Structure 1
Amino acid sequence: MGYDAKLRVWRGDDEGGELKDFTVEVNEGEVVLDVIHRLQATQAPDLAVRWNCKAGKCGSCSAEVNGRPRLMCMTRMNTFTEQETVTVTPLRTFPVVRDLVTDVSFNYEKALEMPAFQPPAELKPGEYRMAQVDVERSQEFRKCIECFLCQNTCHVVRDHDENKPAFSGPRMFIRAAELDMHPLDAAENRKEFAQESQGLGMCNITKCCTEVCPEGIHITDNAIIPMKERVVDRKYDPLVWLGSKIFKRAGA
């Protein structure tokens, strides 16, 4: 059975805006994105919203629904009561372009700073061989759909714009962990780069990024904490530090 939902949507641009109230029809089985599309079709044809697959795999329709970072296409309307006002606002961490669309270029700029995968020089494409256990170690991180909900909820940048130049965020940390765990990655500076250039040390592991990940990636436990441990071992353990110097000298 359908009903009329109370919807509160942020309207505006980079110069400012406000929340506006609407009443929109909701049918059984619909998600927030369905209701936003009906709002566009019936009352607000100029409403700007980013979306693509409507299947929870492209990460395009990220927004904040009742204050929680979510994918609109995966947030069912039946999770709210018929009397509840559903508030939809743009991601707070990134600059607003218009209405529900934000400028997430920060994430792509940080991705460009990441050193690329470096295969062993003696191997050619097609000669790479990995044990299944090594594949499975980092397989979890490859599920990322780059919705940037983890980036949005991370308070290091959510509440402090001044941290953005020095902090890459949880999305980039799982990429760093994926490459660091890859047995064929010949780059030796993953840990140092994460610490010195990505701001790994600024993360205080509150797990808020893990809580909002629509793919269920254990960002904090399986990526960030192991990377922090590797940094500590490599940088502060005197035996590891001495060993790295000796073997580096021997291989010179």
Structure 2
Amino acid sequence: MSAYQARFKVWRGDPSGGGLEDFTVEVNDGEVVLDIIHRLQATQVSDLAVRWNCKAGKCGSCSAEINGRPRLMCMTRMSVFSKEETITVTPLRAFPVVRDLVTDVSFNYEKAREIPAFVPPPELAAGEYRMQQMDVERSQEFRKCIECFLCQDTCHVVRDHEENKEAFAGPRFLMRIAELDMHPLDAAAGTGLDRRTTAQDEHGLGYCNITKCCTEVCPEGIKITDNALIPMKERAADRKYDPLVWLGNKIRRRES
């Protein structure tokens, strides 16, 4: 495919407001959307704000919405669009705009801090941890997350209902809880922390209705819904409705 002129609509503005602006810009073979945004900066709008770092699909910085779909700009090839197509680039809708394509994603870091960290087993010293590979593989997939927050952006619980943000951690961090709950050496239960109960009661697991939209936009191909959220829901339900747990709670309440 030789060079051609593409039509772009790019959102420009700040917290007070903004809108889409039209541009025509050159596209060359093998380029990605981030290349075109950089060309716009270099040739037409030098003050266009965009966040990026590695340009290799590993830092998660260049998240945006391209034709309405949450994507990494550095991993979205121009060849997937026709030459006649107008390409629209807008900031992540679920988070407040800082300027142009840059959004304030601090919500995600606040949620990360709310999740209790891995609790090492007290009987083992650092360097003595041993795990079976099959146990490691259960949660190893989730470690591929690059924290691009595309799953958070596309989740309608966060995206369409601002009032849910206080009570809902979102798929990225519910996946983190699931990862810790699956960890064969996590000793949180010994400290009185029940990750399954807190996932439901404190981090909003019940808000998730498993539409799989988070899985569909994950650039790392993590099966967030099938391998993390659904199993976590099942374990939380088992815990909540376990008759022995119910009886133990009832006895403790009577004693107190």
Q: 1:13-41: CA deviations, max 9, x gaps?
A: 01100100000000000000000000000
Q: 1:127-170: CA deviations, max 9, x gaps?
A: 11100011111010000000000000000010000000000000
- Counterpart position of 1:104: 105
Q: Does residue 97 of structure 2 align to residue 84 of structure 1?
A: no
Q: Does residue 219 of structure 2 align to residue 214 of structure 1?
A: yes
Q: Does residue 65 of structure 2 align to residue 64 of structure 1?
A: yes
- Counterpart position of 2:181: 180
**Runs of 5+ consecutive residues of structure 1 not aligned to the other structure:** none
Q: In structure 1, the residue corresponding to 2:136 is in which secondary structure?
A: helix
Does the 8 A contact of 1:94 with 1:104 survive in 2? yes
Equivalent positions of 1:3-14 (< 5 A) are: 3-14=4-15
Q: In structure 1, the residue corresponding to 2:12 is in which secondary structure?
A: strand
Q: 1:194-229: CA deviations, max 9, x gaps?
A: 011100001011000000000000000100000000
Q: Which amino acid aligns with 1:179?
A: L
User: Per-residue deviation at 1:240?
Assistant: 5.3
What is the root-mean-square deviation of aligned Cα atoms in Å?
1.4
- Counterpart position of 2:35: 34
Deviating runs (4+, > 2 A) in structure 1? 239-246
User: Per-residue deviation at 1:237?
Assistant: 2.5
Equivalent positions of 1:98-137 (< 5 A) are: 98-137=99-138
The separation in 2 between residues aligned to 1:74 and 1:243, in whole angstroms, is 52
Q: Under a length normalisation based on structure 1, what TM-score does the superposition of the two structures give? A: 0.95
Q: Under a length normalisation based on structure 2, what TM-score does the superposition of the two structures give? A: 0.94
Distance of aligned partners of 1:128 and 1:241 in 2 relative to their CA distance in 1, 3 Å threshold = farther
The separation in 1 between residues aligned to 2:135 and 2:3, in whole angstroms, is 49
User: Per-residue deviation at 1:192?
Assistant: 1.1
Q: In structure 2, the residue corresponding to 1:6 is in which secondary structure?
A: strand
The separation in 2 between residues aligned to 1:97 and 1:83, in whole angstroms, is 31
Q: Which amino acid aligns with 1:231?
A: A
Aligned residues: 247
